[in-house]
Each structure stands twice: as structure tokens, then as C-alpha cells.
Structure 1
Amino acid sequence: MNASTKNMQLSTAIANDPRWASAVARDPKVDGKFYCNVEIRFAIGKCSLGATLVAQSNRGICAIFLDDDPEKLVHDLEDQFPRANLVGGGAQFEQLIAEVVSFIEAPSIGLNLPLDIRGTAFQQRVWRALRGIPAGSTASYSAIARHIGAPKSARAVARACAVNTLAVAIPCHRVVRSNGNLSGYRWGLERKRALLKKEAKDLEFIHKCQA
């Protein structure tokens, strides 16, 4: 089995996830302006990668942002969801923030929370493929394009990665260039490098424990 095939193995659990079934079934034309007049609650916590903003609609988590500046995170949220009604999450968000931070620190444990994932049909295909890349592995933009049946769309795959609003939960940090080099990351190349290093180290530890 070559590296590309190995890296592109999809998790059966993810492929059968009902959250994806409902998301893919939505027609973007029906959704119109995504999140228009939707109430989105949010709060900010801290993790090893800096500040993290978590936002949630009535359907599930719709944003996980990373940055060093909490104020910038709020501005980014406003820019991302200009037609939504943004409301501070308050004390009831503490447990949610704690779960997301724990996931960021150890992505291999998974995130057992509902996600509200909205985008075009093509973006949905890309994001679903990204969630199939196991922690500790990577895949190239061109490999993702081939996997979703659009072999000439590597650049469009990169654009879908760039507009992903769910850091780590939709692991666009695991997508690299065909030569293995790191390329851009919405939340900074150093965070991408740190996440990949963390996941590789965790995978090595798991293998040692299983040996």
C-alpha cells in the first residue's frame, strides 16, 4: 500500500456519520445566505496554540477559530457570519470550551459533539474527505481531488481548505503539497506545523503502547 493510499483511508465511522448525511442533503440554493438570521453563541478559551473561539448554532458547533489575539477572533467571527445574530455564550459554554480545547490538545481522541457544517456541494465533498485523514497522517491537495472524483481540482480543494471554519475538527492542517512540504493554513503555518508534530508524536506513543 503506497503512502497516498494509506493517507486517504476513510474512517467508516465518519463516512456513516448521520451529521454528514444531513449536511450533504441540504441544497445550498435552499440555504441561500448561509446562517442568515441564525443565532450563534460563542466564547473564547485558551489552548497550547493560543486563544480559541468556539461558536455554536442550534444545530451544532459552526466555528473553531485559532489566533493569539482574542479580539481578532471576535472580528473574524463577525466577518465570517455577517448575517447571523452573534451572542456571548456565557458560563454555560465553559464545558463546551473545555471539550473543544481537550480535542485540540489531543485530536486523536475525536470530538463527540454535533457540528453544523454548511457550504457548497463541492466544499462538503472536500471537508468530508479531510475528516477521513487519520491523525498522524497527511494527504496532498491533488490526492484529495482524485479521491472526490475531481482530479483536476487541486486548487479548488485548496480554496475549500482555506474557507474551512472548523479548525482541527475538519483537519485541513493534514493537507500538504504533493512533495510533502507545508503550504498555507488559515490559522498560521506555525500552528499547522505544531499540530502535525503533535499528532505524529501521539501516534508514535500509541504504537509504542501497542507494541
Structure 2
Amino acid sequence: MDGTWQAIIAAAPGFNLGLRCSADEILGIDYLPPGPEQAPRLPLAREAVRQLRAWLKDPGFEFSLPLAPAGTPFQRRVWAQINAIPLGQTRSYGQIAAQLNSGPRAVGGACGANPYPPVVPCHRVLAANGGLGGFANARGGFLLDVKRWLLRHEGCLPDAPG
């Protein structure tokens, strides 16, 4: 991806969401440190911002965005398993790995490569001990704070352990 943001929105205390898209497909959504917003430049970006804001108000909101094909066949299988986790629930990396006859680290790698959070809610995947594990290929910093916020927002955990 070329890194050109089509929109940046203030999502919640402590983070923004950056959106990349073409005229026809969402190319990526990233969690960013807080900063100034950038108004959407394309019609699809405006619609994506509308849907992201709706989800931020109501975690039960269901996205209907055209996502660009991405990932390896294995990553797509992991993302399908993640998409099947019901709102308000979590799974461990090991549980998903067992469903796919894989290993937890491979599942973690696929989670970290997810280009569409929160549309593909990889924040619902936790370590075996119920801890946060990693998030977006990070083991600390503001991204784990984002994961805690997302889990609380969706009612997965009242107080996400570290």
C-alpha cells in the first residue's frame, strides 16, 4: 500500500483510525496515535468513515465495506475464523490454531497482518491465559491500550488483563 491516507478520524481517547482506499475498495485500516483528523477525499472513504463512526457508537454495527482481496490463503482462513467470533466473545490463538490444524504463532502472525481492523476483529483473539497477547504486531505501547479499549467497547472484557 502506498501509505496515502484517504481519511483519518479520531476514534476514541488515545487513538485515531487511518483509512486507505481506492475508488472501489478498502485497502487498509490502521490504528494510529492521536492526531489531527483528515476529511475523506473519496466517496468510498466517506462511506467507510460513516460506517466506522457507526461502529464506534454501536459495537453491534455490521460493516458492509468492499474489502480489497488481501493475504495468503492461510491468512484468509484465520481471518474467516476471526470474523466468526460473536460480538462480546473472545477466542485464544490456540483455539483458532486447533480449528485450522496450525500453531498459535502462525495464527498470531496472521492476526498481525490483518489489513482491516476493526472490520475483521482480530482484537477478539487473546493469549491462552486470557492476557492480551499482542496486537497489530505490537507487544506493548499504545496499540495494546487500543486493544483494551476495543475489548471493553464490545463488552468482551470489563477489565482486559495485560
Bin for the TM-score computed over the shorter chain: 0.7 to 0.9
Of residues 94, 101, 107 in structure 1, which corresponds to 2:53?
Answer: 101
Residue correspondence of structure 1 range 31-180 to structure 2 within 5 A: 42-49=6-13, 50-70=15-35, 90=41, 92=43, 93-150=45-102, 153-180=103-130
RMSD: 2.6
Which consecutive residues of structure 1, in runs of 5 or more, have no partner in the other structure? Answer: 1-34, 75-87, 202-211
User: Take 1:198 and 1:171, find their aligned partners in 2: how far apart are those partners?
Assistant: 12
C-alpha contact (below 8 Å) 1:46/1:101 kept by paired residues = no
User: Take 2:31 and 2:113, find their aligned partners in 1: how far apart are those partners?
Assistant: 14
Distance 1:164 1:91, change over 3 A: closer
C-alpha contact (below 8 Å) 1:42/1:89 kept by paired residues = yes
C-alpha contact (below 8 Å) 1:61/1:116 kept by paired residues = yes
C-alpha contact (below 8 Å) 1:107/1:168 kept by paired residues = no
Which consecutive residues of structure 2, in runs of 5 or more, have no partner in the other structure? Answer: 137-141, 157-162
C-alpha contact (below 8 Å) 2:8/2:40 kept by paired residues = no
1:118 CA displacement: 0.6
Q: Secondary structure of 1:196's match?
A: helix
Deviations 1:120-156 (A, max 9, x none): 1111111111011111100000100111232xx1101
Deviations 1:63-84 (A, max 9, x none): 111122458xx9xxxxxxxxxx
1:101 CA displacement: 2.2
Aligned residues with identical type, % of pairs: 31
Q: Which has the higher helix share?
A: 1
Q: Secondary structure of 1:53's match?
A: strand
Deviations 1:18-37 (A, max 9, x none): xxxxxxxxxxxxxxxxx6xx
- Stretch of structure 1 that moved more, 97-106 or 127-136: 97-106
Deviations 1:143-185 (A, max 9, x none): 00111232xx110100111111211111110000111111111
